[in-house]
Amino acid sequence: MILKTMRLSSLPINTLINLPKSLFLISPFRFRNLNRSLTVASRISSTLLRVSGVSSRPCGYWFSTNAAMTNVGEEDKQSIPSIELKENIELTDKERKIFDRLLSTLRYCNLDTQLRVAGGWVRDKLLGKESDDIDIAIDNMSGSEFLDKFKEYLSSRDEEVQGDTVIERNPDQSKHLETAKLRIYDQWIDFVNLRSEEYTENSRIPTMKFGTAKDDAFRRDLTINSLFYNINSGAVEDLTERGIDDLKSGKIVTPLPAKATFLDDPLRVLRAVRFGARFGFTLDEELKEAASSEEVRVALGEKISRERIGNEIDLMISGNGPVSAVTYLSDLKLFSVVFALPSSAEPSPPENCGSLSQSYLEAMWSLLKTPRPGKFSGEQRRLALYAAMFLPFRKTVYKDTKGKSIPVVNHIFKFSMKRKTSDAETVMNIHQTTERFRSLIPSLEVKKDVELDELTWAADILEHWKSITLNDPVIPATSKIRVLTGFLLRDIKDFWRVSLLTSLLLSATVDGSNDHQDIGQLDFQLERMRETYLTVEATIHELGKR
């Protein structure tokens, strides 16, 4: 009765979205059996989409720079030219003040100590990129000992530290070394001692001891991360004797033999993939062979916590080379290790699910890369990529301890990657509304009702619509589509554009909605997807104003 009073047939979408939950009539999502083996023949043109913000009509354009087809991931894996590095590290005024204060501490306390900035800060500065991630390695004392010396120096000047803390060693949480943190000129800096590591065969926890700068360089994951900047001398130190060369040539290489490096700490495999994708660098052949070995894959699954794995994957997906990262995971046979599924998953995913996920991800990445990235927030972009990557699993379920069927995507987020529950819920909701969005697209494209009475999921809503409009002398031509779209947007809220893009990806299957095909090919017609997206987006904005 309330619905009739509100004249649902003429309400604008914005009003429908804000209806009380009790009036939400969408029928629950039902999982259908997906029992098919898919092979991927996906070739995606280099196409960009520019979309608007929340304006009433989109202002933008699509264009294709190359009509020829390219291999999956090719746009992120072009040949790497020689990279020009800075001859010297150029310090900012703030960095110079910080380092001068540290050196003043050495002089005041009469310390024969070498202070070195380690790892990513050195790499990024040589590449001409700014970095605020300053980690300092000390050659003859612990971080906490240096912290005490720094406080002593400040006390002599009647000053106090802005902030400090000591993070104790906690091997169970993958914290193998005590770290002192100090705030200087509003900048947090980590202090640790130089060390060497020894691993036992079946333990991920190394035995730590003081080491030389060379020991410390060779224990690191990659040569490009093993460089030091000696604060005392102002010189860059390449103690592996290949970090600079690998940075120039764009290579991802381990300082020590790759297989031993990965077996010592299997998380280094994912870090190698992440840095390769981030910088567009090439993975060394020995590294790839080691990473794809059965021993390393088993070690990754058994020795590394799922939370640490999830952190690395999140950094890959949130970075600037997610397609390359997932391509590497698939090529190195790591996809099923990282995104582990429960044994009770039904229907069983296709053997090539990694390649299939990679293809959906690349298509979504192509659609999201726009001249105005403000169209999608960082969170929307991240979850859009996850939603695309996990499309092959959208109808796969497993039984929980109570025998209830749960979407396997929930397991991937909550158990395989230890991500937030809200991430799982949002991606599952995108998948659910994607099926419904897809059925509304024909009507939204032409701005009139097209076979809407055949939609099973909309039966309850349309039944109410018919009773409300039975004696209505003026029924808008877009009455049905406005109501159905309003309820759909009510369910997906701020992620409706992501749901729309995801629904368009499903149209890439050559034979449409046949979920039981033996062989499926993906044909991502991005130009067509672009046109459809902009048309539907404009229609929804128009319906929202009425």
DSSP 219-271: TSS-GGG--EEETTTTEEE-TTS-HHHHHHHTEE--SS-HHHHHHH-THHHHH
Q: Alpha-carbon distance 302 to 510, whole Å?
A: 39
Query: What ranges in 332-406 are assigned the alpha helix state H?
Result: 335-338, 353-368, 378-389
Q: How confident is the model at residue 313 (pLDDT cuts 50, 70, 90)?
A: very high
User: Looking at domain 85-247, what is its CATH homologous superfamily?
Assistant: Beta Polymerase, domain 2 (3.30.460.10)
Q: In this predicted model, what pLDDT tens digit does every residue of 43-91 receive, in sequence order?
A: 222 222 222 333 333 322 232 323 333 343 444 444 555 788 988 899 9
Do residues 283 and 289 lie in contact, with contact meaning Cβ atoms separated by under 8 Å?
Answer: no
Of the candidates 266, 230, 222, 229, the one whose C-alpha atom is nearest the C-alpha of residue 246 is 222
Selected residue with higher pLDDT from 450 and 141: 141
Give, in order, the Cα–Cα distances in Å from 312 to each of 272, 306, 419.
10, 10, 11
Q: Alpha-carbon distance 261 to 255, whole Å?
A: 8
**Percent of the chain predicted with pLDDT > 90:** 52
**Which are the contacts of 392, defined by CB distance < 8 A and separation ≥ 6?**
38, 349, 350, 353, 356, 357, 360
Start-end ranges of CATH 3.30.460.10 in the chain? Answer: 85-247
**Burial of 129 per CB tally in 10 Å (0-12, 13-18, 19+):** exposed
Predicted confidence (pLDDT) at residue 435 exceeds the cutoff of 90: no
Q: In this predicted model, what pLDDT tens digit does every residue of 86-133 receive, in sequence order?
A: 888 999 999 999 999 999 999 999 999 999 999 899 999 999 999 999
Apex CA 229: angle with CA 223 and CA 230, to 5°? Answer: 130
Predicted confidence (pLDDT) at residue 40 exceeds the cutoff of 50: no
**Which are the contacts of 190, defined by CB distance < 8 A and separation ≥ 6?**
134, 135, 136, 143, 179, 180, 181
SS3 letters for 9-21?
HHCCHHHHHCCCH
Say whether 399 sits in a helix, a strand or coil.
Answer: strand
Most confident of 198-207, 249-258, 455-464: 249-258
Q: Residues 157-185: what's their mean pLDDT? A: 77
Predicted confidence (pLDDT) at residue 18 exceeds the cutoff of 60: no
Which range, of 8-17, 217-226, 379-388, averages the lowest pLDDT?
8-17
pTM confidence score: 0.80
Q: How confident is the model at residue 203 (pLDDT cuts 50, 70, 90)?
A: low
Give, in order, the Cα–Cα distances in Å from 426 to each of 178, 323, 412, 492, 493.
38, 21, 13, 8, 10
Phi, psi for 494 (deg, rounded to 5): -65, -10
Can you give the pLDDT at residue 167? 82
In single-letter form, the type of residue at position 206 comes to: P
Selected residue with higher pLDDT from 236 and 399: 236
Can you give the pLDDT at residue 339? 96
Q: Residues 338-353: what's their mean pLDDT? A: 86
Predicted confidence (pLDDT) at residue 385 exceeds the cutoff of 90: yes
Predicted confidence (pLDDT) at residue 344 exceeds the cutoff of 60: yes
Q: Alpha-carbon distance 8 to 15, whole Å?
A: 9
User: DSSP assignment of 129-148, as one string?
Assistant: ------EEEESSS-HHHHHH
Q: How confident is the model at residue 469 (pLDDT cuts 50, 70, 90)?
A: low
Selected residue with higher pLDDT from 513 and 98: 98
Selected residue with higher pLDDT from 48 and 148: 148
Can you give the pLDDT at residue 204? 55
Selected residue with higher pLDDT from 54 and 225: 225
Apex CA 434: angle with CA 36 and CA 334, to 5°? Answer: 50
Phi, psi for 347 (deg, rounded to 5): -70, 160
Can you give the pLDDT at residue 141? 94
Which range, of 192-196, 216-220, 473-477, averages the lowest pLDDT?
473-477
Can you give the pLDDT at residue 294? 97
Look up residue 310 and give its two tokens: 């999830």
Q: Alpha-carbon distance 177 to 505, whole Å?
A: 46
Which range, of 142-146, 390-394, 416-420, 540-544, averages the lowest pLDDT?
540-544
Count Cα neighbours of 126 within 13 Å in the Cβ-side half-sphere.
28
Do residues 369 and 378 lie in contact, with contact meaning Cβ atoms separated by under 8 Å?
Answer: no
Do residues 213 and 207 lie in contact, with contact meaning Cβ atoms separated by under 8 Å?
Answer: no
Say whether 207 sits in a helix, a strand or coil.
Answer: strand
What's the chain's average pLDDT?
A: 80
**Which are the contacts of 2, defined by CB distance < 8 A and separation ≥ 6?**
23
* Residue 347, preceding peptide bond in cis (omega within 30° of 0): yes
